[in-house]
Amino acid sequence: MLTAQTCGAGTKAIVIGGGAGGLAVAGRLARAGLDVHVIEKNEEVGGRVQSVASPNGTFRHDTGPSLLLFPDKYQEAFEGMGTSLQEQGIKLARVQPAAYRVWFAGGGGHLDLLNDEAAMAAQLEAVEPGAADGYRRFLRMARNNLSMGVPHFIDREFSDLASARGLQDLIPFLPKLNVLDLLGQHDWRLQQFFKDQRLRAMFTFQDLYVGLTPYSAPAVFGLLAGTELTDGVWYPLGGFGQIRDGLRRAAEACGVRVTTGVEVKAMTTDAVGSRVTGVVLADGTRLAADLIVCNRDLAAAYDLLSSDSSSSDIGNSGSSSSSGGGTSVAPSPSPAAAAYGQQQHERLGKLKYSSGVIAYNWCLGKQVHGLLHHNVFLSEQWRQSWHPAAHPNNLVEHPNFYVHVPSRTDPSAAPPGCDSVMVLLPVANQQQLGGTDYAALVTEGRQRILTTFADAGLGDVGASIQHEHVIAPPDWEQRYGLRHGAAFGLAHGLDQLSIFRPANKDRRVAGLYFVGASTRPGNGVPLCLIGAKLTAARVLKDLQAAAVIRNFEHCGTSIGSATRFCQLIGGGGGGGSQRASARSSGSNGGHLACPAEALPGRC
C-alpha cells in the first residue's frame, strides 16, 4: 500500500520562512515522511507571532497577534503534528468578563462586548429600545455565517472554480441563507438590527483585522463577532511567544530541521523554469529541494524567482536562511522563470492591500484603570476616521485604534501596579503613503492617542510611559517581508476572498507552494494554521499522484492514462472530487491512502 510516508519518503522540502504557517506545514510534511528544512531570516521563528521583553525584562509585549480566536484550530494544528496544546504546556485563558471594551469619542462613553448573552442584550436595550431583540437577531445571523463560512469557505481547498461543485453540502443552509447577510455592505446590513451608530460600530470594527472598513467589508465578516461572542476571546498565558515556541518544538519533534538567521535570496529552477530545484542563501550557498513551500508574504514571494534577487528591495518575510548542507543544484532561475516571477510580482503588487499599522509598545509605571484586556477606541467621525492617514493632517482628532493590556488576564505581563500596553493605530501603507517616512505620523499619532485617552477620562497616560518601542510600516516590511508594509497582508474584499484569493500552489512552476496570510484562506493565526493543513494536504496529494503515475509507467500504461486516472479520483491536485479530497486530508497522522489503492489487480 502506498501511504503518505512511502509516497513522500526521501522527498526534500524547503520551507522558506518559519512563521506560524511555515512551522505548522513543515511539521505535517515531516510527519508524513518528508525531509523538511525550515529556513528563517530572523533570529527567532514565529513571523509576527512574537512576545518581546522590555530592556529591563520586567514587561512583556505581544508585538503581533494579541487575541486568540478559534482555539480549536490551534489544537488541530498541534494534533496535526502528533501533539497538543496541553502536551506543549500551553494554557489558554478566556478573557473575562468581556471580549472587548469599546470606547466612543465625543462623550459617547463605552460599552462592553459581554460574554453573557442576556447581560449583553440588557446593556444594548438600555442604549436603544428594541436593541435587545436586534442583538438576538444579529447573533443568529453572525452564528449562521460562522457555521457556514468556516467549514465550507475557509477550512477547505478550492483549487479552481470547477472544484466549487463540492458546495452541494451548502444545501442545508439555503432555507436560512440571505445573500445580503453575506454580501451586503457590513454597516448597511447592521442597520437592520440597530439604529444607533455606536451599536453598529461594536459589531463591525473587527473589519479592521481583514484590511477593510465597515463601509467596504461584506457582511459575511460578522462571523468574526460571531466567534468572539460565541466561542470567546482567549489568551495564551505567558504571551503569544508560547504559541511560537510550541509550534517550533512540535515541528522539530516531527523531524523538521529549523535554521534561523540567514536569508534565502532566490529560488532556483530547472533550465526551462518548469520546476523548482532549490534555493540560494544570502552567502551564496545552494540547497537542493524537490519542492518549496514559501511562507514569505505571497505578494513578495515571486521576487525570489528573479535571476538577480539582490535587486529586490523587499525584506524576506519571516523567510530565510539556512546553515550547512549546501550542495550543487541547478543554476539560478532560467530566463523564463525570472520573467514569470517578475510578471507575477508586478501583478500581485496591483492587488488591494490592508492598511499599515503603527504599533506603540509602552511600559507604564502605573495601571490605567478603566482599560480592559482588549479595547477599541472609535472616532465620532464615523466615515472619515476609516480613511488611512498618509499625513499627520489626515488624522482625525480622535482616531480609531486598538489597545491591548494583557496584564488584565495574565499578571506576568507587567510588574505589580504597572501596565504593559500595546496600541495599534491604522495608517496608510507605504503604497498609499507614497514613501517610507513615517516619523511625523508616529509623533502626531502618539499625541492623538494620548489626547483620546485623556478625553475618555483615563488621565495623563503619557506621563507614566517608562519605555516605548515603536513598529511602523517600514519595520513590518523589513522584518517580515510584508509588501508595502501592510500589516495584515492582502485585503479581504469580495474579489480577494476564497477562490479569488491567490492559490496555495503555483500553476506554472511545479513544486512551488505557498502558506501564509496573503494566500488562501487568509490572514490571522488560525487561518494561517488552516492554510498549513490545506497546503500540506495538497503537497501530499500531488506526491501520491506522482507515485500513481510511476506505478502506471512501471506497468506499461501511458502517462496520459495515469494522469486522467489521477484527475478522475482527485489525485492530480487540480480540482478533484470531494471524496478524494477528503481522503487526502482526513488523517493527521500521515496515513493518507494513496490513489493507487484504487487499482486492485494492477501491477
pLDDT reading at 313 higher than 50: no
Distance CA 257, CA 235 (A): 29
> How does 480-493 read in b/e, with b if 16+ C-beta sit within 10 Å?
bbbbbbbbbbbbbb
pLDDT per residue over 563-582, tens digit each? 555 555 444 433 333 333 33
DSSP per position, 79-113: HTTT--TTTTT--EEE--SEEEEEEETTTTEEEEE
- Is residue 445 within 8 A of residue 371, CB to CB? The reply is no
pLDDT at 79: 98
Neighbours of 602 (CB within 10 A): 12
For the chain, the first-to-last Cα distance in angstroms comes to: 12
Looking at residue 350, its pLDDT comes to 87
Identify whether 97 is preceded by a cis peptide bond (ω within 30 of 0): yes
Q: Who contacts 142 (Cβ-Cβ below 8 Å, separation ≥6)? A: 203, 222, 223, 225, 226, 229, 230
φ, ψ of residue 202 in degrees (nearest 5):
-60, -30
Q: Position 190: which residue type?
A: L
- What gap in Å lies between CA 305 and CA 483, rounded to an integer? 16
Alpha-carbon dihedral sign for residues 23, 26, 32, 35: negative
Which tens digit of pLDDT belongs to each residue from 441-498? 999 999 999 999 999 999 999 999 999 999 999 999 999 999 999 998 888 777 777 7
The three-point CA angle 37-38-42 to 5° equals: 145
- State residue 499's pLDDT score: 74
Asked if residues 219 and 184 have their Cβ atoms less than 8 Å apart, the reply is yes
Confidence of residue 170 (pLDDT cuts 50, 70, 90): low
Q: Is the pLDDT of residue 415 over 70?
A: yes
The model's pLDDT over 5-54, given as tens digits with 9 standing for 90+, comes to 556 678 999 999 999 999 999 999 999 999 999 999 999 999 999 999 99
Antiparallel, parallel or unpaired: β 512-514 and 291-294: parallel
For 401, left (φ over 0), alpha (ψ -120 to 50), or beta? beta
Task: Please tell me the distance from the alpha carbon of residue 410 to that of residue 196, in angstroms, as a whole number.
Answer: 34
Supply the DSSP string of 198-253, one letter for each residue: HHHHHTTGGGGGGT--TTTSBGGGHHHHHHHHHT--EEETT-THHHHHHHHHHHHH
Separation of alpha carbons 317 and 320, rounded Å = 8
**Top-confidence residue, 342 or 168:** 342
Q: Which residues contact 151 (CB under 8 A, 6 or more apart)?
A: none
| C-alpha atoms less than 13 angstroms from C-alpha of 115 in its C-beta half-sphere | 10
Angle between helices 71-79 and 525-554 (to 10 degrees): 30
| DSSP designation for 173 | G
Cell of 15: 520551507
**Amino acid residing at 6:** T
Lowest-confidence region among 43-47, 100-104, 437-441, 583-587:
583-587
Question: Which of 379-383, 546-550, 594-598 comes out lowest in average pLDDT?
Answer: 594-598
DSSP notation for 422-475? EEEEEE--HHHHTSS--HHHHHHHHHHHHHHHHHTT----GGGEEEEEEE-HHH
Give tens-digit pLDDT for 106-148. Answer: 888 999 999 899 999 999 999 999 999 999 998 888 888 777 7
pTM confidence score: 0.85
What average pLDDT does the structure give for the chain?
Answer: 84
CA distance 484 to 355: 9
Please, which residues have CB within 8 angstroms of residue 284's CB and are 6 or more apart in sequence? none
pLDDT at 598 over 50: no
State how far the Cα of 178 lies from the Cα of 462, in Å rounded to an integer.
Answer: 48
